[in-house]
Amino acid sequence: MLPNWFNKWHRENPTDIERPAIIFGTVGVAVIAVTAIVVLGWPTESRSLQTGPRGTGMSVTKFEAVAIAPDRDIAELIDDEPFIPEGDEELAGDIYENVQVLGDLTDDNFNRLMAAITRWVSPEEGCAYCHGDGGLETYGEDNLYTKVVSRRMIQMTQNINENWDGHVNANKTVGVTCFTCHRGQNVPSDVWFKVTPVSKATEGWASVQNRVTSLSSYTSLPSDALEAYLLDSQSIKVHDLESRVAGTPGDEDFPTWQHAERTFSLMNYISNSLGVNCVFCHNSRAFYDGSEVTPQWGTEMLGISMVQELNNEYVVPLTELLPEERLGPVHADAPKVACRTCHKGYQQPLQGRNVLDNWPELATSGSPDYGN
Q: How far apart are CA 197 and CA 208, in angstroms?
A: 12
* Confidence at 203, pLDDT banded by 50, 70, 90: very low
Q: What is the pLDDT of residue 360?
A: 94
Q: What is the pLDDT of residue 130?
A: 95
- Hey, which of 211-215, 321-325, 345-349 has the most confident mean pLDDT? 321-325
Contact (Cβ atoms closer than 8 angstroms) between residue 364 and residue 104: no
Contact (Cβ atoms closer than 8 angstroms) between residue 176 and residue 355: yes
Contact (Cβ atoms closer than 8 angstroms) between residue 86 and residue 107: no
The average pLDDT across 214-239 equals 89
Position 208 pLDDT exceeds 70: no
* Confidence at 209, pLDDT banded by 50, 70, 90: low
306 burial type by CB count under 10 A (0-12 exposed, 13-18 middle, 19+ buried)? buried
Q: What is the pLDDT of residue 192?
A: 96
Higher pLDDT, 209 or 295: 295
Q: Which CATH superfamily is domain 214-339 in?
A: Photosynthetic Reaction Center, subunit C, domain 2 (1.10.468.10)
Q: How far apart are CA 325 and CA 161, in angstroms?
A: 30
Contact (Cβ atoms closer than 8 angstroms) between residue 359 and residue 370: no
What does residue 251 show for φ and ψ, rounded to 5 degrees?
-65, 145
The region of weakest confidence among 98-107, 198-207, 248-257, 340-349 is: 198-207
Position 58 pLDDT exceeds 70: no
Q: What is the pLDDT of residue 198?
A: 67
Higher pLDDT, 204 or 243: 243
Q: How far apart are CA 226 and CA 193, in angstroms?
A: 9
Strand partners, 192: 336
Supply the DSSP symbol for 150. H
Q: How far apart are CA 179 and CA 171, in angstroms?
A: 21
* Confidence at 199, pLDDT banded by 50, 70, 90: low
Position 164 pLDDT exceeds 60: yes
Q: How many CA atoms lie within 13 A of 96 on its CB side?
A: 22
Give 262-277 pLDDT, tens digit per residue. Answer: 999 999 999 999 988 8
Share of the chain above pLDDT 90, in %: 53
Q: What is the pLDDT of residue 48?
A: 54
Crossing angle for the helix pair 107-121 and 145-163, to the nearest 10 degrees: 100
Domain ranges of the chain: 81-178+358-362, 214-339
Amino acid at 75: A
Q: What is the pLDDT of residue 52?
A: 56
Work out the mean pLDDT of the chain and round it to a whole number.
85
* Confidence at 196, pLDDT banded by 50, 70, 90: confident
Share of the chain above pLDDT 70, in %: 85
Nearest to 105 by CA among 310, 363, 357: 363
Q: How many CA atoms lie within 13 A of 199 on its CB side?
A: 12
Tell me if the domain spanning 81-178+358-362 has CATH number 1.10.569.10.
Answer: no
The average pLDDT across 215-222 equals 85
Give 280-334 pLDDT, tens digit per residue. Answer: 888 888 887 888 888 899 999 999 999 999 999 999 999 999 999 999 999 999 9
Helix %, strand %, coil % of the chain (to 5): 45, 0, 55
